[in-house]
Amino acid sequence: MDIIREPYGFVHADAGRLKETYGGPSGQVFVECMRIRPIDKDSRTVILFSHPIGGGSFLPLVTALAHAGYHIIYCNPRYRGNDTALIMEKCVLDLGACIADAKKRFGYDKIVLGGWSGGGSLSLFYQDQAEHPSITETPAGDPVDLKGAGLVPADAILLLAAHVSRSVTMTEWLDPSILDEGKPFERDRDLNIYAPDCPNSPPYSDAFVMRFRAAQIERNRRITSWAKSQLAEIRASSDPDAERCFVVQGTMCDVRWLDPSQDPSDRKPGTCYLGDPRIANDGPVGLGRFTTLRSWLSQWSYDESRADGLGNASRISCPTLVISNSADLACTPSHAQRLFDAVASPDKEMRTISGADHYYIERRELLPIAVTEIGTWLGRHGF
């Protein structure tokens, strides 16, 4: 089916006193969107994708759904392509503004949230706050009114190759051998799984994995504690709205990458979705490599982030479909299962696309299977 791509944008008001994006006037936010639809087919339903840093309007699955006859909108929040200062609560506001605009601009009656990858936990966070609005400030204590934003609940959620949250994913990928953030390249030999002389090697023992995971959580909490103390110093100063930026080394270190018996799947051992994990661990594009105090608390902190996919899922009531890709290098099967188990709605289903990678790039022939599964589920629900 032939499709057309229609880029558009809109401006919505932002009452926040702090600005984390480059350029543009204060008090306003520009949201960039792409509508992708069949040329000759109208619809009252739209699948609305979003992701904290956007950029997915050309993803194979997004495009394939449009070719299959569905109307798609891809919403890029204000942090398009740059999560260094990202605040998850503001992504929710941008997504809410996009939903309201789509209903008014195009007349859509039904909104199905397309939660692909990191968009999964954003969709769940949004739906949780739309159904049970409560948040009036960020984890850093800055005002952000989700409670009074009038967020319109979605009619259904698709969780497609989704991970449970940015904060949990970050923690599961943190290098636990870094014991001092001020000396990130002096690493604990016993926990440094990428070091040639590490005494622990795959297949890892249960005892080592437990120690490894506990050390990852401990490191995340150390960074969180430091961020809080830095913010406390700032708030006690003459410039309480000031911010501090910092670097986090070692954010692609997971026993899964080297030991295929951990969270077993069809993925290729010894690699991650950024290539060689030994290089990506300290490379420039690793998760949270460059961040700020406020952003760390909102999107990366294990304990403080409210974009907690499992917690959010436990409070939603709309129909939900979970799609897991069995060869996914980014979102391994346990993430899909945890999300499915956490969803409170009794109307939930889960499907696995055998052999599919995260992006459907290596096995494009599997795209029609995913589209059929999604389409069948949407049809049964009247979308």
DSSP assignment of 224-262: HHHHHHHHHHHHTSS-TT---EEE-------HHHH-TTS
Where does residue 332 rank: exposed (0-12), middle (13-18), buried (19+ CB within 10 A)?
A: buried
* pLDDT computed for residue 45 by the predictor: 98
pLDDT of residue 21: 86
Res. 17: pLDDT tops 90: no
pLDDT at residue 317 is higher than 80: yes
Question: Residue 373: in which H helix or E strand, if any?
Answer: helix 367-380
The reply to whether 90 and 185 lie within a common domain is no
Write out the residue range of the structural domain in which residue 248 sits.
169-300
Residues 331 and 360 in one domain: yes
What pLDDT is recorded for position 47?
98
Higher pLDDT, 21 or 338: 338
Q: Is the pLDDT of residue 24 over 80?
A: no
Check whether 233 has a pLDDT greater than 90: yes
Judgement on whether residues 287 and 362 belong to the same structural domain of the protein? no
Out of 268, 285, 300, a domain closes at 300
- Identify whether residues 97 and 189 lie together within a single domain: no
* The two structure tokens encoding residue 364: 């494009």
**Model pLDDT, residue 50:** 98
Residues above pLDDT 70, as percent of the chain = 100
Together in a domain, 41 and 130: yes
Read off the pLDDT of each residue in 261-288 and give the average, rounded to a whole number: 93
Count other C-beta atoms under 10 Å from residue 366's C-beta: 19
Confidence of residue 229 (pLDDT cuts 50, 70, 90): very high
pLDDT at residue 250 above 90?
yes
| Percent of the chain whose pLDDT exceeds 90 | 95
Closest by Cα among 156, 13, 126 to 78? 13
pLDDT, residue 323, reads 98
CATH number of the domain where residue 22 is located: 3.40.50.1820
> With bands split at pLDDT 50, 70 and 90, how would you rate the model's confidence at 148?
very high
Task: Say if residue 68 is in the same domain as residue 150.
Answer: yes
| Whether residues 239 and 295 fall in one domain | yes
List, in order, residues 6 or more apart from 36 with CB less than 8 Å away: 3, 4, 5, 6, 57, 62, 63, 66, 71, 72, 73, 74
Last residue of a domain, one of 245, 268, 300: 300
- Assess whether 159 and 214 both reside in one domain: no
pLDDT in tens, 90-126: 999 999 999 999 999 999 999 999 999 999 999 999 9
DSSP, res 125: H
For the record, the structure tokens of 175 come out as: 């290098």
Could you check whether the bond before residue 203 is cis, i.e. omega within 30 degrees of 0?
yes
Measuring CA to CA, how many Å separate 284 from each of 249, 288, 302, 366? 9, 10, 22, 32
pLDDT reading at 23 higher than 80: no
pLDDT, the chain, mean: 96
Give the per-residue pLDDT at 18.
82
- pLDDT tens per residue, range 158-210: 999 999 999 999 999 999 999 999 999 999 999 999 999 999 999 999 999 99
Write out the two tokens for 238: 């003459």
Task: Output DSSP code: residue 214.
Answer: H
Please tell me the pTM assigned to this model.
Answer: 0.97
- Sheet containing strand 156-160, edge to edge, reads 3-13, 28-38, 72-76, 45-50, 110-116, 156-160, 320-325, 348-353
Answer yes or no: is pLDDT of 19 > 90: no
Average pLDDT over residues 3-26: 88
Give the model's pLDDT for residue 20. 84
**179 with 267, same domain?**
yes
Q: Are residues 102 and 237 in the same domain?
A: no
Task: Please tell me the total count of domains within the chain.
Answer: 2
